[in-house]
């Protein structure tokens, strides 16, 4: 899987302006057929609880073996699988994130493997939310997410939808990933923010990636198709993002993994530096053999 930085895939100045104005960007296709096949295979293995590194992910919901009748969400799947880790620590994603944010270095915050199984209706819904609602333990709020599609993603199989410009609204506290009644949640968030949602569908071909700012409101509806909606979501932060103690998110796993004090930068093996400007064409924190990934070793 070629995850080197390809300059032709980087956002243009116009793309960067678009991202900063709207809080999202529908990016290029970064995976070829071979990489897609490898990642779909590893996606299925991780969902089934077959962890190639021998190390389980941070969380796996619903647990392996339970019926696939609702959305599957697996946090830090890169601990469990070296091919997933290659994507989640990819300098290509880091380089794009650096351009979009203006940061000179990018670290991994955590990753998420998502599956909306076919025909799972509202059980696959993701409630409207801002990621920063869960990440107030980090500052500044300039983190962002790469959402990598492993299938063609359309409204029918429950594509992500974003509210353009909502990253400038501040935090709307009602947001929740886990609420499945999208209409009521939207009404409540519109009432609270005093603004209407104008939703944009993030329709992507398999292998393409979209980016969204950590304050952009987003969510997704049911998968009413006979196809799965598989994705790998890579949450990233500018190098230098710091721990902010005493927030409602002090119980976030990243706080525990950092084990630091208020103001400490998130760094170390659990927050790998995946891109640094000026380090040549490519930067990678990890080139060695598969099980040698520092976060996997540190987590054992
Ligand atoms: O996949 C979805 O529908 C939502 C994903 C999400 O919440 C995220 O990428 O931050």
CATH code for position 68: 2.60.120.620
User: CB of 147 closer than 6 A to ligand 1?
Assistant: yes
Helix 91-101 with 13-22: angle, nearest 10 deg: 70
Q: How far is the CA of 173 from the centre of ligand 1 (A)?
A: 17
Write phi, then psi, for 113 (nearest 5 degrees).
-100, 125
Give the ligand 1 atom nearest the CA of 126. Answer: 3
Match 């529908």 to its residue by tokens.
26
Q: How many domains does the chain have?
A: 1
Q: Which two tokens stand for residue 159?
A: 């594509």
Burial of 240-255, coded b for 16+ CB within 10 Å and e otherwise, reads: ebbbbeeeebeebebb
Classify residue 50: in a domain, yes or no.
yes
Classify residue 269: in a domain, yes or no.
yes
Classify residue 65: in a domain, yes or no.
yes
User: CB of 142 closer than 6 A to ligand 1?
Assistant: no
Q: How far is the CA of 174 from the centre of ligand 1 (A)?
A: 16
Cα 22 to Cα 45: distance, rounded to the nearest angstrom: 36
- Among 160, 231, 237, the mutation site with the greatest number of ligand 1 atoms within 8 A of its Cβ is 160
Q: How far is the CA of 203 from the centre of ligand 1 (A)?
A: 13
Distances in Å between the Cα of 116 and the Cα atoms of 22, 40, 120 are 26, 14, 7
Cα 210 to Cα 231: distance, rounded to the nearest angstrom: 11
Place 97 in a pLDDT band, splitting at 50, 70 and 90. Answer: very high
> Mind listing the pLDDT tens digit for each residue in 195-241?
999 999 999 999 999 999 999 999 999 999 999 999 999 999 999 99
Q: How far is the CA of 94 from the centre of ligand 1 (A)?
A: 18
User: CB of 220 closer than 6 A to ligand 1?
Assistant: yes
Cβ neighbours for 64, distance < 8 A, ≥ 6 positions apart: 47, 48, 49
Classify residue 2: in a domain, yes or no.
no
Asked if residue 284 has pLDDT above 60, the reply is no
Which DSSP string do the residues of 107-133 spell out, in sequence order? EEEEEEEEEE-TT-BGGG-EEEE-GGG
Classify residue 1: in a domain, yes or no.
no
Asked if residue 2 has pLDDT above 70, the reply is no
Classify residue 90: in a domain, yes or no.
yes
Asked if residue 292 has pLDDT above 50, the reply is no
User: CB of 131 closer than 6 A to ligand 1?
Assistant: yes
Domain range for 12 is 7-299
Q: What's the pLDDT at 298? A: 53
Classify residue 211: in a domain, yes or no.
yes
Q: What's the pLDDT at 286? A: 41
User: CB of 159 closer than 6 A to ligand 1?
Assistant: no
Q: How far is the CA of 280 from the centre of ligand 1 (A)?
A: 32
Are 269 and 164 spatial neighbours (Cβ–Cβ below 8 Å)? no
């Amino acid at each position: 899987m070629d995850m080197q930085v390809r300059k032709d895939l980087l956002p243009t100045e116009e793309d960067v302006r678009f991202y900063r104005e709207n809080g999202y960007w529908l990016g290029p296709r970064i995976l070829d057929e071979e990489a897609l096949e490898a990642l779909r295979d590893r996606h299925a293995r991780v969902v089934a609880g077959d962890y190639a590194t021998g190390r389980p992910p941070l969380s796996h919901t619903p647990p392996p073996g339970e019926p696939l009748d609702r959305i599957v969400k697996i946090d830090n799947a890169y601990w469990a699988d070296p091919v997933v880790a290659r994507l989640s620590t990819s300098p290509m994603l880091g380089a794009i994130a650096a351009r979009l944010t203006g940061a000179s270095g990018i670290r991994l915050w955590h990753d998420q493997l998502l599956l909306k199984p076919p025909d799972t209706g509202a059980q696959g819904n993701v409630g409207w939310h801002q990621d920063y609602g869960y990440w107030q333990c980090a500052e500044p709020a300039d983190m962002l997410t790469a959402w990598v599609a492993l299938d063609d993603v359309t409204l029918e199989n429950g594509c992500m939808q974003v509210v353009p410009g909502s990253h400038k609204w501040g935090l709307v506290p009602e947001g929740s990933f886990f609420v499945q009644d999208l209409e009521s949640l939207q009404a409540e968030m519109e009432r609270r923010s005093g603004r209407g949602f104008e939703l944009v569908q993030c329709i992507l071909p398999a292998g393409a990636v979209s980016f969204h700012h950590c304050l952009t409101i987003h969510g997704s509806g049911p998968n009413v198709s006979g196809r799965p909606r598989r994705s790998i979501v890579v949450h990233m932060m500018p190098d230098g993002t710091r721990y902010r103690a005493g927030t409602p998110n002090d119980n976030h796993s990243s706080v525990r993994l950092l084990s630091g004090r208020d103001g400490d930068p998130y760094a170390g093996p659990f927050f790998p530096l995946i891109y640094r400007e000026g380090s040549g064409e490519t930067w990678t924190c990890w080139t060695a053999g598969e099980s040698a990934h520092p976060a996997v070793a540190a987590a054992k």
